[in-house]
Amino acid sequence: MAARMQSRKSGFLERTTASFVDALEHTFYAEETARAHGLLQRLDPRVKLLGILALIVPAAAARSFAVIGCLFAVTVVLAGLSRVSFSILLKRVWIAVLLFTGVIALPAPFVTPGRALYQLPWLGWTITSQGLASAGYLVLRVETAATLCVLLVLTTPWNDVLKALRVLRVPVIVVTILGMTYRYVYLLLQTAHDMFESRRSRMVGNLTGRERRRVAASSAGVLLSKTFDLSSEVYLAMQSRGFRGEVHILDEFRMRRFDWIMLAGFTLVSAAAFWWGR
């Protein structure tokens, strides 16, 4: 959809909206993956959340390439057993993280003091082994942590991820607000998208920059006004069913033997990674 929208000449806000819609379409893919019959999909979301955090922390703290590499390998195995497509991981995580973190890590080999490995011709900048190691650590750590986070999202319905946050003592009201935000962001994005489509359908020729900014500002105003109306209506609907300022939710998760075994597994791997990566 985003590609179709961008194929026509469009303004900043249309492109932004299209990107949001595109991003939300990815979440549909995530929901499909979350329903697949894989290893992580079978796990209680609380165990998955804690287990993945237990792998992220040593990956971020380890001072050994071998340990971080092993954790990355564990992550890849988990992805394979959970039927998560490697091509998706490659495109959405590994390459994106490499580019993003690569830019951040780029100066490190030149500015970190240490043993000189190579000097760039013409520029005369020196690459140090310590600097190269720092950049390598950063990239590998971020690759591992990002892959683990994406695995959590791709193998768990988002609502279950939110509910699982309760195990980390996140207050019920925060979980509820996040759930409602996730629910209504679709509706508002759809509304914004429809507004822009409706405007385009009545447009002949191109608008000047000033006109485009004016239209964008007025659209934002209308959307804000609709958001206010919607939020008051939602509040009334909540009141109508007994909401009195305090939210109660139903705990649907049940720990099974498999969950306990996996929790023990995550704990063991995490402890070992901490020990070897000191």
Residue 249 within binding range of another protein, rule CB under 8 A: yes
Total chain residues near another protein (CB under 8 A) = 29
Alpha-carbon gap, residue 211 to 199, rounded angstroms? 13
Asked if residue 61 binds another protein (CB under 8 A), the reply is no
DSSP assignment string, 65-123: HHHHHHHHHHHHHHHHHTT--HHHHIIIIIHHHHHHHHHHHTTHHHHS-S-EEEE-TTT
Q: Would you tell me how many other CB atoms lie within 10 Å of the CB of residue 220?
A: 13
Q: Report the residue number, 187 or 217, with the smaller CB distance to another protein.
A: 187
Among 201, 208, 242, 254, binds another protein (CB under 8 A): 242
Q: Which of residues 10-29 bind another protein (CB under 8 A)?
A: none
For another protein, the closer CB: 207 or 238: 238
Asked if 234 is part of the footprint of another protein (rule: CB under 8 A), the reply reads: yes
State the Cα angle at 57 between 28 and 111, rounded to 5°. 100
* Contact status: 236 vs another protein (CB under 8 A): yes
**Between 81 and 237, whose beta carbon lies closer to another protein?**
237
Supply the angle between the helices 12-34 and 209-240 in degrees, to the nearest 10. Answer: 40
Cβ-based nearer residue to another protein, 184 or 276: 184
250 binds another protein (CB under 8 A): yes
Single out the segment in contact with another protein by CB under 8 A; choices: 8-16, 181-189, 198-206, 257-265: 181-189
User: 């954790």: which residue's tokens?
Assistant: 71
The helix (H) or strand (E) run that includes residue 211 is: helix 209-240
Quote the Cα angle for 202-206-209, to 5°. Answer: 115
Pick the stretch among 79-87, 131-139, 205-213, 234-242 that binds another protein (CB under 8 A).
234-242
Query: Which residue reads 């939602």 in tokens?
Result: 234
Least distance in angstroms from the C-beta of 163 to another protein = 9
Binding site for another protein (CB under 8 A): 31, 157-159, 162, 179-180, 182-184, 186-187, 230, 233-234, 236-244, 248-252
